[in-house]
């Protein structure tokens, strides 16, 4: 083996290639098959990480009890031993009654981490602090660090959860709905999370369970549907029991219709409303949303800039507030960011007007000094709460699909009241009957309900306009 590795190194050097000793892996295959009775065992293999050297033969030893070769490092040996012992602890009958009592709180605490999406490394700290909190308890002296916690999640909680879910939608042949959503592309692989929703008769409530998360690098409708279809086949599920499908408004529903024409397409109401809101928002001359984001990132990472801003806040007489972050995909954050921008407008305007060192500060100052920017902000602060009210309905954990029709009607009615005269809306049974394109039903430009503050600032601009030349 030593000679073989030396030959590989020499061959690579001849082609001007370097062998990275710290990152090189190779597969060692035991070709000597062992016989057990009349059955011949297949050759076994394992990937090994090597720090290649001419003394490699001293670093490789035979794993006792197995036919695997590996580096005899203390960390590798410890990790492998922990994992094997953890598996035995979970699936074998424990002889020690104290250890048998300890496994229950370990599983409960691990379930707590999973439920609240906490890092697994928290278990490492809990292992040290629990004996200090409960010094007189034998159960609190358990050792459940991140390795054992990860093992409990993988080999105990996940299989048990999957078993419970499949017993309802597969064994009992119950109807269920599918929800999917793709991950972003900041990692090497894009993943498609697949959830199922069904009614649990024992818990007497609707339950959402994790089904699979396959890699889906090509985000076309056909490929996403293929990933979902393969996931169902993998778990032995049938399309016949799928009662609803929520594909986040992409065209995957086309493939689903081919499998089961009766399936009901449940899109994301909040997503659809957000698309409509952004389409109308583009008609404004100034993008307030971009302004909010630019202000946040200009001030967020610089304590000196935030400290300078405090002087201007004190000068204009407004309370000191931290900069509100708005994420375009977190729709409920826009209303809070708009409220902050409106209350801090004078301080921000004065601050950025005094900064002319870089292009970003000059760009923000130019937008804040645009008279119409404040009008747009005050107008949006009267409109966005209607969208937030709608979105909050569908942020609940409970099933609220039955409220969709009334929520849409209420949203459309509240928005139409700002544009259409009340007498044309009051007697309508459905907002679909409103002829919104009929100019005769609308307010004139002076009486449009854009909000009292927006009207006041607009009137100020009109009085300050220079008189028209003769």
pLDDT at residue 75, rounded to an integer: 61
pLDDT at residue 71, rounded to an integer: 46
The mean per-residue pLDDT over the stretch 97-116 comes to 82
431 in a structural domain: yes
Count other Cβ atoms within 10 Å, centred on residue 216: 21
Percentage of the chain modeled with pLDDT above 90: 12
pLDDT at residue 352, rounded to an integer: 92
- CATH number of the domain that 243 lies in? 3.30.420.40
Q: Could you tell me if 322 and 410 lie in one domain? A: yes
Are 160 and 152 spatial neighbours (Cβ–Cβ below 8 Å)? no
Of the candidates 114, 194, 127, the one whose C-alpha atom is nearest the C-alpha of residue 156 is 114
Are 348 and 295 spatial neighbours (Cβ–Cβ below 8 Å)? yes
pLDDT at residue 248, rounded to an integer: 66
Q: Could you tell me if 329 and 427 lie in one domain? A: yes
6 in a structural domain: yes
pLDDT at residue 83, rounded to an integer: 56
Q: Lowest mean pLDDT of 26-30, 116-120, 212-216, 395-399, name the range.
A: 26-30
How many angstroms separate the Cα of 236 from the Cα of each of 87, 178, 198, 233? 26, 15, 16, 5
Exposure string of 122-160, with b = 16+ CB inside 10 Å and e = fewer, is: ebbebbeebeeeeeeeeebebebbbbbbebbbebbeeee
pLDDT at residue 456, rounded to an integer: 82
Packing angle, helices 97-115 and 74-91, rounded to 10? 100
280 in a structural domain: no
Sign (positive/negative) of CA torsion 217, 220, 221, 222? negative
Q: Which of these three, 238, 267, 296, is where a domain ends?
A: 267
pLDDT at residue 65, rounded to an integer: 41
Q: Could you tell me if 63 and 153 lie in one domain? A: no
Q: Lowest mean pLDDT of 45-49, 87-91, 146-150, 167-171, name the range.
A: 45-49
Query: Most confidently modeled of 214-223, 389-398, 411-420?
Result: 411-420
The count of structural domains within the chain is: 4
274 in a structural domain: no
The mean per-residue pLDDT over the stretch 241-258 comes to 75
Greater pLDDT, 96 or 4: 4
End-to-end, the C-alpha distance of the chain in Å comes to 98
Please enumerate in sequence order all residues whose Cβ is within 8 A of that of 283, keeping only pairs 6 or more positions apart, or say none: none
Q: Lowest mean pLDDT of 91-95, 318-322, 383-387, name the range.
A: 91-95
pLDDT at residue 464, rounded to an integer: 57
Q: Could you tell me if 325 and 436 lie in one domain? A: yes
Tens of pLDDT, residues 294-317: 999 999 888 899 999 999 999 989
Greater pLDDT, 56 or 28: 28
Q: Could you tell me if 437 and 301 lie in one domain? A: yes
Average pLDDT, the chain: 78
The answer on pLDDT for 359 being more than 90 is no
The answer on pLDDT for 130 being more than 70 is yes
pLDDT at residue 23, rounded to an integer: 61
pLDDT band at 397 (very low <50, low <70, confident <90, very high): confident
The answer on pLDDT for 154 being more than 90 is no
Distance CA 234, CA 229 (A): 9
Greater pLDDT, 41 or 141: 141
Q: Which of these three, 27, 49, 72, is where a domain ends?
A: 72
The mean per-residue pLDDT over the stretch 234-261 comes to 79
pLDDT at residue 68, rounded to an integer: 43
Q: Could you tell me if 315 and 447 lie in one domain? A: yes
- Provide the domain limits for residue 415: 288-463
């Amino acid at each position: 083996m030593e000679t073989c590795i030396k030959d590989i190194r020499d061959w690579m050097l001849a082609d001007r290639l370097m062998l990275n000793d710290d990152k090189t892996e190779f597969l060692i295959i035991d070709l000597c098959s062992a016989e057990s009775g009349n059955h011949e065992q297949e050759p076994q293999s394992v990937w090994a990480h090597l720090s290649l050297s001419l003394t490699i033969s001293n670093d490789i030893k035979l794993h006792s009890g197995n036919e695997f070769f590996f580096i005899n490092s203390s960390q590798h040996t410890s990790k492998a031993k922990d994992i094997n012992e953890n598996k035995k602890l979970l699936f074998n009958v424990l002889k020690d009654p104290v250890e048998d009592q300890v496994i229950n709180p370990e599983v409960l605490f691990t379930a707590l981490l999973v439920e609240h999406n906490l890092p697994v490394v928290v278990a490492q700290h809990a292992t040290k602090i629990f004996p200090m909190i409960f010094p007189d308890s034998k159960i609190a002296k358990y050792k459940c660090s991140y390795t054992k916690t990860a093992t409990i999640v993988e080999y105990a909680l996940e299989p048990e959860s999957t078993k419970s879910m499949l017993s309802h939608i597969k064994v009992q042949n119950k109807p269920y709905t599918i929800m999917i959503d793709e991950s972003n592309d900041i990692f090497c692989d894009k993943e498609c999370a697949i959830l199922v929703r069904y009614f649990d008769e024992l818990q007497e409530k609707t339950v959402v369970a994790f089904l699979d998360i396959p890699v889906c690098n090509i985000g076309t409708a056909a490929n996403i549907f293929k990933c979902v279809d393969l996931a169902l086949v993998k778990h032995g599920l049938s399309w016949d029991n799928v009662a609803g499908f929520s594909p986040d408004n992409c065209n995957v529903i086309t493939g689903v219709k081919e499998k089961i024409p009766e399936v009901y397409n449940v899109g994301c109401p909040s997503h659809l409303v957000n698309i409509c809101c952004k389409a109308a928002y583009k008609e404004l001359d100034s993008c307030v949303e971009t302004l909010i984001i630019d202000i946040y990132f200009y001030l967020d990472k610089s304590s000196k800039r935030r400290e300078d801003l405090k002087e201007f806040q004190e000068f204009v007489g407004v309370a000191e507030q931290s900069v509100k972050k708005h994420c375009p995909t977190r729709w409920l954050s826009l209303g809070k960011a708009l409220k902050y921008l409106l209350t801090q407008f004078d301080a921000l305007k004065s601050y950025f007007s005094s900064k002319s060192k870089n292009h970003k500060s000059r760009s923000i100052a130019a937008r804040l000094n645009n008279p119409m920017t404040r009008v747009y902000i005050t107008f949006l602060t009267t409109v966005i709460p209607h969208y937030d009210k709608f979105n909050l309905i569908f942020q609940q954990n409970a099933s609220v699909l039955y409220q969709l029709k009334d929520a849409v009607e209420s949203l459309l009615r509240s928005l139409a009241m700002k544009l259409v005269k009340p007498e044309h809306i009051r007697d309508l049974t459905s907002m679909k009957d409103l002829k919104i394109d009929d100019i005769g039903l609308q307010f004139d430009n002076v009486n449009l309900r854009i909000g009292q503050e927006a009207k006041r600032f607009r009137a100020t601009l009109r009085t300050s306009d220079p008189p028209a030349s003769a």
